[in-house]
Amino acid sequence: MKYKSLLFGVTLAVLATACGKSPQTPKTDIPVYLDDNQPIEARVEDAFQRMTLDEKIAMVHAQSKFSSPGVPRLGIPEVWCTDGPHGIRTEVLWDEWEQAGWTNDSITAFPALSGLASTWDRDLSRLYGKSIGEEARYRNKSVLLGPGVNIYRFPLNGRNFEYMGEDPYLAGEMVVPYIEGVQANGVAVCVKHYALNNSEINRHIANTIVDDRTLYEIYLPAFKAAVQKGHAWSVMAAYNLYNNEHLCSNEVLLDKILRGEWGFDGVVISDWGGVHNTLQTARHGVDLEYGSWTDGLTMGKTNAYDNYYLAEPYKAAIGKGEIGTAELDARVKRILRMIFRTTMDRNRPFGSQTSPEHYAAARKIGAESIVLLKNDGDVLPLAAHPKRILVVGENAVKMMTVGGGSSSLKAKLEVSPLDGIKARYPDAEVVWERGYVGDVGGDYNGVSTGQDLRESRNPATLIADAVKAAREADYVIFIGGLNKAPQQDSEGEDRIQYGLPYGQDAVIEALAAATDKFVVVNISGNAVAMPWADKVPAIVQDWYLGTQAGNSLADVLSGDVNPSGHLPFTIPVSYDKNPVQTERQYPGTPRRSLIDGMPVLDMEYTEGIYVGYRWYDLHGGVLYPFGHGLSYTSFAFGEPRLDKQSMTENGSLTVTVPVTNTGAKTGATVVQLYITDVEASVDRPAKELKGFAKVMLEPGQKADVSFTIDKDALSFFDAAKHEWTAEKGSFQALVAASAQDIRGAVEFELR
């Protein structure tokens, strides 16, 4: 096996000493590109002017699975990427996906981003970014490959668990503090997957057909927020196609929108194997090409990396005059800019890994992400001193950090739900029954959970044993849902059914008939069918919560933490109620022609802007709405009031609503602001989320929650004019506890 180590501090020390200075002395006569006191643009230009053509070509493509070269002659370090965004991936072999066998790369696994989005808490997002950024920095990574902000278009996307839900405003607001937290550590985020990557099957050949208004209103806002508000230092181009061009060489999305309209000055990195040609990519594509020879040096060419599209073929095209050097120079400068912001910033903090602070952050974020969907009869929280608790379900014991594709992690610790409940109730008899058999595997890319989940009992016996135990328990907690196996919540494949797999519905029905002290905990990153919802007194939406999964769940079940999570997506009653129904919409229809020598499927977003609650507001079929989340206390919303009755295009107004904790427990709720265009001349959704605030209140405490409304909150994208437009006339501000729980409305004018 082959490894390289980066002794960056030593490199700088040697170079600085050669110039007659130590790294600690004033740097007045060293090269500009090595001088931290110089503006980054001056350093970029100085380093660039010293580079040869061969050094420039080397910088724009990979040299291993996760690294690309710097400029050794100039002491400019390599770029090292790591998978995220839920934890720092285990080190893999130089040319292979299998783990390298390190003993110091076990990390903290943080909650999946679907869980983070469910907190609706910007401060927790910043804490998340800070914590995972510290772990990336500790491992000396340049780039964290995350976060993901692709929109939850429909519930079968196998990668929805890695994203931030169905609403572009929520995703945009939550991604910005995450970015700020990561990059404060001198580690670049790589916001992914830009763009329109909303399903996994056929992801390399799916040509997305979408109108401009839908593109700008639904699928681009979170990326735009990441770039313009979060100041992301890198973005990952997706696998799929748009306008018949692969995203890694897409003129419209990369040059015209990302670099042009948004002014992005960072690096665009290809998804691994996403580049398919040289000239189009050189003209309009990514800055850094990774993974095009995914078996590295074992593909029969000892110079495999030199055969990347942006390697020797790029240099040859320049030599033949097929393309100039302006595009190469621009991408090299962007890469240098990122290096000076990260690895060559000697003021970046040192970072830390698996620290008590990171475990505490993971536990807190996990607990505040959990959504209490239903709690009839106040089954939850559990009693302070139960005698016997029965826990049923494979997901109560199955480790979820291994598997799922690129989100797979080697966690130093993973507390299972069963162990979390046992730890919280040490004096109770906590019994586990399996109930069903799902995925008994526990290995991925050489990382193993070490669990043996094989089972000899048949389904009928498993259910009978669980029911018998249920009749003798004070509480029964079923912990099931999905997992990170193929065709569940996993990269590379989509789900094949909306219902729960492995016969879980039958287990739940049987337990519901046996006891009324029954809680269903669904672990997933996706909505699932719940045909038994009216028979179950308490339902909890849990997520892939990583290292502290079991403790976070136990905190909520016990009432140590009052649940405050709210859904980032709608849970429809059945799959036929969601907006994606036809073959044209998904998985797409094949065409005869090839693009980049590959077959193509046309995937048409015929639902347009009607995604998520925008769709369900018109068509119904909702089991639990977007933004829904219960508490162990209750909250009353007063009448909203405006500071003025009208505003101009350049002005703003404020809507304020009093919120009171009317229950007996301290807790938090999410106050949501939706806007309705009453007099629109174009088709607009019934309402759109334009503000939210999470407020913590003690029993009896009252607080005023205020939102500022400006032109952006009132605008739609006018495709004919290619601009955002707010039409004069009447609007409503809706204050809500969910997309279907409107607590008050006020009307105002844009004049």
Q: What is the pLDDT of residue 45?
A: 98
Residue of 95, 271, 287, 617 marked catalytic: 271
Q: Is the pLDDT of residue 419 over 70?
A: yes
Query: Helix/strand/coil (H, E, C) string of 313-352?
Result: HHHHHHHCCCCCCHHHHHHHHHHHHHHHHCCCCCCCCCCC
CA 163 – CA 117 distance, rounded (Å): 8
Range 393-403 average pLDDT:
97
CB atoms under 10 Å from CB of 595, counted, come to 16
Q: Which two tokens stand for residue 652?
A: 């703003």
Least confident residue range of 16-20, 643-647, 704-708: 16-20
Q: What is the three-class DSSP state of 95?
A: coil
In the chain, the percentage of residues whose pLDDT exceeds 70 is 95
Q: Which two tokens stand for residue 196?
A: 């329109």
Q: Which two tokens stand for residue 580?
A: 């994606």
Q: What is the pLDDT of residue 292?
A: 85
Q: Which two tokens stand for residue 149?
A: 């902000």
**Domain-by-domain residue ranges, the chain?**
8-22+31-96+107-341, 362-560, 633-750
Q: Is the pLDDT of residue 16 over 80?
A: no
Range 738-749 average pLDDT:
98
Q: What 8-state DSSP symbol labels residue 572?
A: E
Note the pLDDT tens digit of each residue in 114-158: 999 999 999 999 999 999 999 999 999 999 999 999 999 999 999
Q: Rounded to a whole number, what is the largest CA-CA distance in the chain?
A: 82
Tally the residues of the chain.
751
Tokens 């797979």 correspond to 408
CB atoms under 10 Å from CB of 662, counted, come to 13
Domain covering 633-750, topology: Immunoglobulin-like (2.60.40)
Bridge partners of residue 729, in order along the sequence: 750
The CB-based long-range contact list for 448-455 (8 Å cut-off, 24+ gap) reads 448/402, 449/398, 449/399, 449/401, 449/402, 451/397, 451/398, 451/399, 453/394, 453/397, 453/398
**CB-hemisphere CA count at 13 Å for 630?**
18
**CB-hemisphere CA count at 13 Å for 283?**
10
Note the pLDDT tens digit of each residue in 241-255: 999 999 999 999 999
Q: What is the pLDDT of residue 30?
A: 87
Q: Is the pLDDT of residue 294 over 80?
A: no
Phi and psi at residue 87, in whole multiples of 5°?
170, 160
Note the pLDDT tens digit of each residue in 651-692: 999 999 999 999 999 999 999 999 999 999 999 999 999 999
Q: What is the pLDDT of residue 138?
A: 98
Closest of 495, 546, 629 to residue 112, by C-alpha: 546
505 catalytic per annotation:
no
Note the pLDDT tens digit of each residue in 54-68: 999 999 999 999 999
CA dihedral (259, 262, 263, 267) positive or negative: negative
Q: Residue 302's pLDDT band (boundaries 50, 70, 90)?
A: low
Q: Which residues contact 90 (CB under 8 A, 6 or more apart)?
A: 99, 100, 102, 105, 106, 107, 409, 410, 445, 447
Phi and psi at residue 512, in whole multiples of 5°?
-60, -35
Q: What is the pLDDT of residue 20?
A: 37
Q: What is the pLDDT of residue 98?
A: 86
DSSP for 639-694, written as a single string: --EES-SEE-TT-EEEEEEEEEE-SSS-EEEEEEEEEEETT-SS---S-EEEEEEE
Q: Are 205 and 598 spatial neighbours (Cβ–Cβ below 8 Å)?
A: yes
β 589-595/598-604 pair status: antiparallel
Q: What is the pLDDT of residue 445?
A: 87
Tokens 């400006």 correspond to 710
Q: Which residues contact 556 (CB under 8 A, 6 or more apart)?
A: 367, 370, 372, 381, 540, 563
Range 574-593 average pLDDT:
96
- End-to-end CA distance of the chain: give it in Å, rounded: 68
Mean pLDDT of the chain, nearest integer: 94
Q: Are 525 and 457 spatial neighbours (Cβ–Cβ below 8 Å)?
A: no
Q: What is the pLDDT of residue 304?
A: 85
Q: Are 482 and 438 spatial neighbours (Cβ–Cβ below 8 Å)?
A: no
Q: What is the pLDDT of residue 293?
A: 65
Note the pLDDT tens digit of each residue in 68-98: 999 999 999 999 999 988 999 999 998 888 8
Q: What is the pLDDT of residue 85?
A: 86
Using a 10 angstrom Cβ sphere, with 0-12 exposed, 13-18 middle and 19 or more buried, the burial of residue 13 is middle
For residue 109, give the amino acid letter. Answer: A
Q: Is the pLDDT of residue 9 over 70?
A: no
Q: Is the pLDDT of residue 330 over 80?
A: yes
Q: Which residues contact 429 (CB under 8 A, 6 or more apart)?
A: 387, 388, 389
Q: What is the pLDDT of residue 25?
A: 39
Q: Is the pLDDT of residue 8 over 60?
A: no
Fold match, 362-560 / 633-750: no
Note the pLDDT tens digit of each residue in 681-736: 999 999 999 999 999 999 999 999 999 999 999 999 999 999 999 999 999 999 99
Superfamily of domain 362-560: Glycoside hydrolase family 3 C-terminal domain (3.40.50.1700)
Q: Are 193 and 246 spatial neighbours (Cβ–Cβ below 8 Å)?
A: no
Q: Which two tokens stand for residue 35?
A: 């001088």
Taking the model in full, what pTM does it have?
0.95
Q: What is the pLDDT of residue 28?
A: 54
Task: Give the CATH number of domain 8-22+31-96+107-341; options: 3.40.50.10800, 3.40.50.300, 3.40.980.10, 3.20.20.300.
Answer: 3.20.20.300
